Structure 1
Amino acid sequence: MTSERIRILFFLPTLVAGGAERVVLTIIRNLSREKFDISLAVLNRQGDALSQDLPADIDLIDLKQKRVRSSLPSIARFVRSHKPDIVFSTLDYFSLALAITRRFWPSHTKFVARPTILLSAAVAGRRIPRLWQGATKAALSTTDQIVFQSPEMQDDYTTCLRWRRKSGVVIRNPIDLFHLRKCAADPSDEAELAPAAFNLVSAGRLEAQKGFDVAIEAIKLAKHREINLTILGAGQLRMELEQHACRMQVQHRVHFAGHRSNVYTFFRRPTGSCCLRASRVSRTSS
């Protein structure tokens, strides 16, 4: 029976607590074990915050590589020895790296890539946009399937890469309700929210594309003074965002809770709280 199953290898750079990584783990938890033989490979386990959410029956392979650039030979050797039927990758820069090694894979191995943000937003932040655009087009040409998160993302790629017709399929981000409710009900991880306020909660890496500065400015514009914003996540922009909150004079209403392994307890309150999303790439389905 094992030999008849489809061998699928999911590939991630790390297991940091990012949205793309959580999506991959959600897919892994819910794929049929009768149809798929599933493995997960990572370049390294630095900053590992998600391995506890990986089912016990899934092989987790650590390639012990520090950087994507220097890991290409190790990636090629591993895929060749592992002989998967499918390699599934997300995170755009990592899919590009895998595409470089594609010629060294077994001939039967298929490559499925899942873009994570709009290409127009990705190239806008690059020093040489046309170079990144060309590299993305070359990388995607090596894939057997592209999985877009929304029709808007598919249209964005079609326009930016000047495809004559749409490529790929649209599969929106999955939601594992059973896992979500289990985490939200965890009594050992109580959320720290002001009981008398209406609490907005936003989670993600503290980087420019997430738009937390926009969320802070929205709190400034809110007429209701009992609205608080709690930001979950870590990143290089924390100090800058804290200073931005001070400039907006809302530092007493904006709280930085840092990285939390279980963010769902912050969303479980029956009244007086909701999730806020202020991403600059909001046409995706996250």
Structure 2
Amino acid sequence: MKKNIVFVIPSLTAGGAEKSLVNLLNTINYSNYNVDLVLLHKKGIFLSMLPKEVTVLDLNSNYKTFCKELIISCFHFLIQGKLSLIYHRILFFAKNKFQKNKAVAEQNSWQNIQKSLNKLPNKYDAAIGFLEKSSIYFTVDKIDAKVKIGWIHTTYSSSGMNYKFDMLYFEKCNAIIAVSPDCEADLKNNFPTLKNKFKTIYNIVSSTTIHNLSDKNNDDLLFLNSENSIVTVARLSPEKGIDLAVEASKILLEKNLNFKWFVIGDGQERENLEIKIKSYNLQNHFYLIGLKQNPYPYLKSCTLYVQPSQYEGKSMAIEEAKILCKPIIVTNFTTAKDQINNSVNGIIAQMNQESLANEILEVLQNKKLQEKLSLNLSKERLGTEDEINKLYEIINE
């Protein structure tokens, strides 16, 4: 008899966790499982990549109204006589407006937004909150399931989250999944009384899928005609270090390096980054090219992949670049050594613009080093499709 499971995630916009979930959903054995999906916001470039077996659930009308702009939302609730929801909508706005720590704001405002959400009508064998914060809180508060699983895609200590708030929810989960051993160890350090709940499941990455998608035509003439092409795949948000990449590019330009750096992704820092790019006269060298549903032709054709992040859990983008055997440079964020063996299958730079620029210059000017890094990657076993079996074990315990 098939088991019924449900996944929860805010949306399927571009991001490592979102891509990881889509990969996982395309790996599940649907002869054994019925799968529902809750999207708190039904949007994202990965929507079209969901397998046909997955049922995306609609959330209730009060929640949809709650998500509208403040004035519109309160007006509709007023007409309906739902004064309590007006109160919670105003508090939700205030907490997110005035709390500078966005992670804590999302935690604190959950108690308000959840007032607009109904419990799911179905009962499940397993419910999985596939991203930290709201996805886990929804799983605990709004789903009736025999097994409840949370998923943390980052290094908890670097996330800015309030561990006391999460403790209340983690206690109610049967398991909390980390995406690397270092992330698991960090969770155990923050929640020592819950250490038996933490397990590692690597992000699912399909080598076959990535190679097939990388063979698609790339019609970006600017990219194809560039010498020393650098690619980064990341949200334009502070933790991804794109500002550091711009600073390093300024140094590379001063050293008269001919290069073009393409950043695939979008986010809240775009305007600030564009201002900095213009102020450094990098318009012909540093390009924010937005979201790409298929970034792999860029990765396959680039000279060098760079991940300048301040922190990561386990970067999907780095794993994908490894599968395509690209020379890789990363900054020395906490979990960098979990993915890169320095000077063997990639380079780990210090987290400053001088070090990053110097390492980029070294790799781009050293063809033998490029060949060495690519050759070593070609010898590694990099696909992680078998990780799905670890999830099956937790669901079936």
| Contact kept? 1:150, 1:285, Cα under 8 Å | no
Candidates 42, 47, 51, aligned match of 1:51:
47
Candidates 143, 163, 168, aligned match of 1:133:
163
Which one-letter code corresponds to 1:93 in the other structure?
K
1:247-276 Cα deviation digits (max 9, x unpaired): 44433211110122221221122xx52322
Q: Which has the larger radius of gyration?
A: 2
What is the CA–CA distance in structure 2 between the aligned matches of 1:26 and 1:165, rounded to whole Å?
28
What is the CA–CA distance in structure 1 between the aligned matches of 2:164 and 2:170, rounded to whole Å?
10
Which one-letter code corresponds to 2:306 in the other structure?
L
The number of aligned residues is 267
Q: Provide the residue aligned with 1:122 in structure 2.
A: 159
Q: Provide the residue aligned with 1:126 in structure 2.
A: none
What is the CA–CA distance in structure 1 between the aligned matches of 2:7 and 2:277, rounded to whole Å?
39
- Residue 137 to residue 6, structure 1, CA distance change in 2 (3 Å): same
- Say whether 1:254 aligns with 2:286: yes
TM-score, structure 2 as length reference: 0.61
Percent identical among aligned pairs is 19
| Contact kept? 2:171, 2:194, Cα under 8 Å | no
Alpha-carbon RMSD across the aligned residues, in angstroms, is: 2.5
What is the CA–CA distance in structure 2 between the aligned matches of 1:37 and 1:173, rounded to whole Å?
21
What is the CA–CA distance in structure 1 between the aligned matches of 2:195 and 2:119, rounded to whole Å?
35
* SS in structure 2 at match of 1:45: coil
Candidates 9, 17, 34, aligned match of 1:20:
17
1:95 positional shift = 3.3
1:177 positional shift = 2.3
- Residue 84 to residue 94, structure 1, CA distance change in 2 (3 Å): same
* SS in structure 2 at match of 1:77: coil
- Say whether 1:183 aligns with 2:213: yes
1:13-41 Cα deviation digits (max 9, x unpaired): 22212221111110010011122111212
Q: Provide the residue aligned with 1:72 in structure 2.
A: 114
1:113 positional shift = 0.9
What is the CA–CA distance in structure 2 between the aligned matches of 1:248 and 1:172, rounded to whole Å?
39
- Residue 259 to residue 186, structure 1, CA distance change in 2 (3 Å): same
1:76 positional shift = 4.7
Which one-letter code corresponds to 1:61 in the other structure?
L
| Unpaired segments ≥5 residues, structure 2 | 68-108, 317-397
Q: Provide the residue aligned with 1:205 in structure 2.
A: 235
| Contact kept? 2:136, 2:150, Cα under 8 Å | no
| Contact kept? 1:75, 1:101, Cα under 8 Å | no
What is the CA–CA distance in structure 2 between the aligned matches of 1:195 and 1:233, rounded to whole Å?
21
Q: Provide the residue aligned with 2:333 in structure 1.
A: none
* SS in structure 2 at match of 1:226: coil
| Contact kept? 2:235, 2:267, Cα under 8 Å | yes
Candidates 255, 258, 264, aligned match of 1:226:
258
1:122-165 Cα deviation digits (max 9, x unpaired): 12xxxxx6xx1211222211111111111111121222334474
- Say whether 1:152 aligns with 2:148: no
Structure scoring higher RCO (CA < 8 A, sep ≥ 6) equals 1
| Unpaired segments ≥5 residues, structure 1 | 124-128
| Contact kept? 2:9, 2:135, Cα under 8 Å | no
1:9 positional shift = 0.6
Which one-letter code corresponds to 1:244 in the other structure?
K
* Structure having the larger proportion of residues in helix: 2
What is the CA–CA distance in structure 2 between the aligned matches of 1:146 and 1:194, rounded to whole Å?
43
| Contact kept? 1:7, 1:37, Cα under 8 Å | yes
1:52 positional shift = 1.0
Which one-letter code corresponds to 1:20 in the other structure?
A
| Contact kept? 2:136, 2:151, Cα under 8 Å | no
* SS in structure 2 at match of 1:92: coil
What is the CA–CA distance in structure 2 between the aligned matches of 1:214 and 1:194, rounded to whole Å?
25
| Contact kept? 1:99, 1:142, Cα under 8 Å | no
